[in-house]
């Protein structure tokens, strides 16, 4: 089954590129850029990956990304991920990045845009992996700042497949970002948001109503509201579910307790994704293999999940029809 899962053409729709930073590369970039890390060794970094909730992860995630300084750093980060994704049988990656923490430490907006764009073109040449770029706003920072970043990013809007919304969910409801998302709508940029990861089902309804999103990242808590489930099902709204992430961040205690089978039973348009693979036990293939071990799904279920992702990917239709 593992060989079959590896060969299945997979599209990854929910991936934070800063969350692909493996400890070895963290040390290498820290040395190159003169950044002092609060760890003595790679093993010490890995030992620190013990999370009690989303915030305890975010603290390490924001700390880790401080080693990224130059276009070349972002290029190498993304190339290292594309190589691993290719090994996992991934044919399309939608990578999101968080411009605000980089800007806050003096890394200009063009640095991630240019470095990631170069890696995306190189991945296409080297691995025949297509990709799309998502700029995500950090929801625990002010909405005015997000709006300002969206305007500042104007020279790179043509590179964006979508904008997203991530970081600490509880206490930062989607309605806080209505004006930013309205501006993106005016600009013709598609919109996505994390919702219902740690936050309640009401945040998923809020993302649909206030932000007019075309995809919900996570969304696992929708099951708490039957009317919302019906709404998501009738709209065929994709949910980018991240099974291992949900275990590592204690959204569920064990994968066997994950609501994935129930989401599928409810007829929802679920996809499988890795979220932050360097922090959460591996990439796409590990997520697929873990689901097979936990739920015993047969090939038809995995085919359906992979089909959902290909149908919803920001990808040209000719490539999509070849892959479907
Ligand atoms: N940023 C990176 N990973 C995230 C996650 N799982 N939830 C919210 N924000 C994130
Ligand atoms: Zn995420």
Q: Which two tokens stand for residue 150?
A: 């969206």
Instruction: Answer for the pair 133, 117: CB distance below 8 angstroms, yes or no.
Output: yes
For 231, what's the count of Cα atoms within 13 Å in the CB-facing half-sphere?
A: 17
Distance 197 CA to ligand 1 centre (A): 9
> What are the C-alpha distances in Å from 9 to residues 117, 277, 283?
23, 18, 14
Q: Which two tokens stand for residue 188?
A: 């013709």
Residue 316 known to bind ligand:
no
Give the 3-state secondary structure of residue 274. Answer: coil
Residue 275 known to bind ligand:
yes
| Cα gap 51→278, rounded to integer Å | 13
Distance 100 CA to ligand 1 centre (A): 14
- CA torsion 316-100-24-275 (nearest 10°) is -50
Backbone angle region of 73, left / alpha / beta, with phi > 0 → left and psi within -120 to 50 → alpha: alpha
Q: Is the CB of 276 under 6 A from ligand 1?
A: yes
| Cα gap 236→232, rounded to integer Å | 6
pTM above 0.90, yes or no: yes
Residue 276 known to bind ligand:
yes
For residue 174, which phi and psi values (nearest 5 degrees)? Answer: -55, -35
Instruction: Answer for the pair 103, 111: CB distance below 8 angstroms, yes or no.
Output: no
Q: Is the CB of 10 under 6 A from ligand 1?
A: no
Give the number of other Cβ atoms within 10 Å of residue 311's Cβ: 15
pLDDT in tens, the chain (324 residues): 999 999 999 999 999 999 999 999 999 999 999 999 999 999 999 999 999 999 999 999 999 999 999 999 999 999 999 999 999 999 999 999 999 999 999 999 999 999 999 999 999 999 999 999 999 999 999 999 999 999 999 999 999 999 999 999 999 999 999 999 999 999 999 999 999 999 999 999 999 999 999 999 999 999 999 999 999 999 999 999 999 999 999 999 999 999 999 999 999 999 999 999 999 999 999 999 999 999 999 999 999 999 999 999 999 999 999 999
List of residues 6+ apart from 59 with CB closer than 8 A? none
Q: Which two tokens stand for residue 252?
A: 């569920």
Task: Report all structural domains of the chain as residue ranges with CATH numbers, in order of start.
Answer: 2-312 (3.20.20.140)
Instruction: Answer for the pair 75, 11: CB distance below 8 angstroms, yes or no.
Output: no
């Amino acid at each position: 089954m593992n060989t079959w899962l590896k060969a299945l053409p997979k599209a990854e729709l929910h991936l934070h590129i800063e969350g692909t930073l493996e400890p070895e590369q963290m040390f290498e970039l820290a040395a190159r850029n003169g950044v002092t890390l609060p760890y003595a060794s790679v093993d010490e970094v890995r030992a620190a990956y013990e999370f009690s909730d989303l915030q305890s992860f975010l603290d390490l995630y924001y700390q880790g990304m401080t080693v990224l300084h130059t276009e070349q750093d972002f290029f190498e980060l993304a190339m290292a991920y594309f190589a691993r994704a290719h090994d996992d049988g991934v044919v399309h990656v939608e990578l999101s990045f968080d411009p605000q923490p980089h800007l806050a430490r003096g890394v200009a907006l063009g640095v991630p845009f240019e470095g990631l764009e170069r890696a995306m073109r190189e991945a296409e040449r080297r691995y025949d992996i297509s990709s799309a770029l998502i700029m995500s706003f950090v929801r625990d920072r002010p909405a005015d700042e997000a709006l300002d970043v969206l305007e500042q990013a104007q020279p790179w809007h043509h590179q964006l497949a979508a904008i997203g919304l991530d970081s600490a969910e509880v206490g930062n409801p989607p309605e806080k970002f209505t004006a930013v998302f309205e501006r993106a709508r005016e600009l013709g940029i598609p919109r996505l948001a994390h919702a219902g990861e740690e936050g309640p089902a009401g945040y998923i309804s809020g993302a649909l109503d206030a932000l007019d999103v075309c995809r919900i990242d996570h969304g696992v808590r929708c099951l708490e509201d039957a009317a919302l489930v019906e709404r998501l099902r009738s709209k065929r709204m994709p949910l980018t579910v991240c099974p291992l992430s949900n275990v590592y961040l204690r959204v569920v205690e064990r994968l066997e307790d994950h609501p994935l089978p129930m989401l599928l039973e409810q007829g929802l348009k679920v996809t499988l994704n890795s979220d932050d693979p360097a922090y959460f036990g591996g990439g796409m293939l590990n997520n697929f293999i873990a689901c097979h071990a936990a739920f015993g799904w047969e090939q038809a279920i995995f085919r359906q999940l992979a089909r959902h992702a290909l149908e919803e990917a920001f990808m040209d239709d000719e490539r999509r029809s070849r892959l479907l």
